[in-house]
């Protein structure tokens, strides 16, 4: 990636990686414009705003206007990147996303930060735990959720190069590195991070690192887990899912999202039609999550490696 040093990226928070990637993309494409809603600083899109002030538009605290205006930009030949926290794009501007972006099938990139529970003590109003369900239900929409800083940088560039509406879902803080070596990121093509024949763990975002840890502890107990990073949740990489169902006979999905409408349902929907195997879903069990630090909340809600490990054992038992 021009101007970006991989070693530096690995140390960045997801938001900072996002900012750097935006600048790199802006250098390449003069039609790229940045739209914000009084959170250009806190989403870290500010790096782009500093570099390209004439291509940056702050709408104030008016997310609905921002998303509809993005449609206007796209209709006049620009490539708008509309940025806000996940709940604001998916909930506040929900109808604008459906009618103005998806229905009109415009080349707009909705780039959200503070995914899942990463706004922690912000509480329910600031958690983004329904966004994937909402975005999945819109025809024409593509959903991408990177799992570490390096993948965030690649994902930003890939979705900008991709033609059509995209919802990019990014976290807030530092992410554990998932990738140790160079890899190719392609929208719609999942990445297998580990092979195994007993169970497949499929995750996205922050839960990929947890799935890798779960696979390690399962291995100690003689259970070999395949781990798939499903960075594109829609369109789902059905080939990889069906292959996993055939090869390992059971699947556990993991996501920092309500289990209703998320990756788990997408995977179960895919397997049930072709290779019906047990699919267990690790996620938020349809509750509002409350207040607390990120780690504490995730532990309380059952979103840790240990929870994935337990689900994997259940899944393995179910297939016998």
Partner 1 sequence: MEKLNAEELGCKANEIRLDAMVMGKQAGGGHLGGGLSSMDIMTALYFNVMNIDPAKPDMPDRDRFILSAGHKAVGYVPVLAEAGFFSKDLLSTFNKLDSPFGMHPDMHKIPGCEASTGSLGHGLPIGVGMALALRMDKNPARIFVLLGDGETHEGTVWEAAMGAAQHKLDNLTAIIDYNKCSMDGPIDEVVSLEPINDKWASFGWNVIRVDGHNMSELLDAFAKAAGQKGPTVIIADTLKAKGMPFAEGDYLWHYGCPSDEQIEETRIYLEEK
Ligand X SMILES: Cc1ncc(C[n+]2csc(CCOP(=O)(O)OP(=O)(O)O)c2C)c(N)n1
Q: Which is nearer to partner 1, 221 or 286 (CB)?
A: 286
Does 65 contact ligand X by CB under 6 A? no
Which among ligand X, partner 1, none contacts residue 283 (Cβ within 5 to 8 A by kind)? none
Beta strand 79-85 pairing with 199-203 = unpaired
Give Cα 198 to chain centroid, integer Å: 26
Q: How far is the CB of 40 from partner 1 (least distance, A)?
A: 5
Which among ligand X, partner 1, none contacts residue 315 (Cβ within 5 to 8 A by kind)? none
Q: How far is the CB of 158 from ligand X (least distance, A)?
A: 27
Q: Which of 92, 136, 172, 231 binds ligand X (CB under 6 A)?
A: 92
Is residue 155 within 8 Å of residue 146, measured between CB atoms? yes
DSSP 88: I
Q: How far is the CB of 187 from partner 1 (least distance, A)?
A: 30
* Three-class DSSP labels, 127-175: CECCHHHHHHCCCCCEEECCCCHHHHHHHHHHHHHCCCCEEEECCCCEC
Q: Which is nearer to ligand X, 88 or 251 (CB)?
A: 88
Instruction: Provide the 3-class DSSP secondary structure of residue 229.
Output: strand
Q: Using CA atoms, how far apart are residues 161 and 91, in angstroms rounded to an integer?
A: 26
Does 45 contact ligand X by CB under 6 A? no
Q: Which of 88, 134, 245, 315 binds partner 1 (CB under 8 A)?
A: 88
10 Å CB burial of residue 243 (0-12, 13-18, 19+) is middle
Does 293 contact partner 1 by CB under 8 A? yes
Q: How far is the CB of 57 from partner 1 (least distance, A)?
A: 10
**Binding to partner 1, residues 49-78 (CB under 8 A):** 58-62, 64-65
Q: For residue 156, what are the CA distances in angstroms to 80, 145, 192, 262, 286? A: 13, 10, 20, 21, 30
Q: How far is the CB of 42 from partner 1 (least distance, A)?
A: 7
Beta strand 56-58 pairing with 32-36 = parallel
Q: Which of 6, 61, 291, 317 binds ligand X (CB under 6 A)?
A: 61
Q: Where is 63: in which H helix or E strand?
A: helix 63-75
Does 38 contact ligand X by CB under 6 A? yes
Q: Which is nearer to ligand X, 88 or 108 (CB)?
A: 88
Q: Which is nearer to partner 1, 5 or 125 (CB)?
A: 125
Q: Using CA atoms, how far apart are residues 92 and 203, in angstroms rounded to an integer?
A: 26
With a CB cutoff of 8 Å and minimum separation 6, the contacts of 281 are 252, 253, 255, 259, 262, 264, 265, 268, 311
Does 235 contact partner 1 by CB under 8 A? no
Instruction: List interacting residues with ligand X (CB under 6 A).
Output: 38-39, 61, 88, 92
Instruction: List interacting residues with partner 1 (CB under 8 A).
Output: 36, 38-42, 58-62, 64-65, 87-88, 91-92, 121-126, 290-293, 296-297, 300
């Amino acid at each position: 990636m021009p101007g970006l040093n991989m070693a530096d990226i690995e140390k960045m928070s997801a938001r900072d990686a996002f900012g750097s990637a935006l600048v790199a993309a802006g250098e390449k494409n003069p039609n790229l414009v940045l739209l914000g809603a009084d959170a250009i600083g806190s989403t870290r899109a500010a790096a782009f705003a500093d570099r390209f002030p004439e291509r940056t538009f702050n709408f104030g605290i008016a997310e609905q206007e921002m998303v509809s205006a993005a449609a206007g930009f796209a209709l006049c030949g620009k490539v708008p990147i509309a940025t806000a926290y996940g709940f604001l794009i998916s909930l506040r501007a929900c109808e604008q996303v459906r009618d103005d972006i998806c229905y009109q099938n415009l080349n707009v990139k909705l780039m959200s930060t503070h995914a899942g529970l990463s706004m922690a003590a912000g509480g329910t109003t600031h958690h983004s735990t329904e966004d994937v369900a909402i975005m999945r239900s819109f025809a024409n929409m593509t959903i991408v959720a990177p799992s570490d800083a390096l993948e965030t940088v690649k994902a930003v560039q890939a979705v900008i190069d991709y033609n059509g509406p995209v919802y990019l879902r990014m976290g807030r803080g530092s992410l554990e590195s998932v990738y140790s070596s160079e890899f190719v990121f392609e929208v719609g093509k999942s990445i297998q991070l580990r092979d195994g024949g007993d169970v497949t763990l499929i995750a996205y975002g922050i839960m990929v690192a947890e799935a890798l840890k779960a696979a390690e502890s399962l291995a100690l107990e003689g259970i070999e887990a395949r781990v798939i990073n499903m960075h594109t949740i829609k369109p789902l990489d059905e080939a990889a899912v069906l292959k996993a169902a055939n090869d390992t006979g059971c699947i556990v999905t993991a996501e920092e999202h309500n289990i209703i409408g998320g990756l788990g349902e997408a995977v179960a929907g895919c397997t049930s039609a072709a290779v019906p195997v047990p699919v267990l879903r690790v996620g938020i069990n349809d509750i509002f999550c409350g207040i607390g630090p990120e780690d504490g909340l995730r532990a309380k809600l059952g979103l840790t490696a240990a929870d994935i490990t337990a689900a994997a054992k259940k899944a393995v038992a179910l297939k016998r």
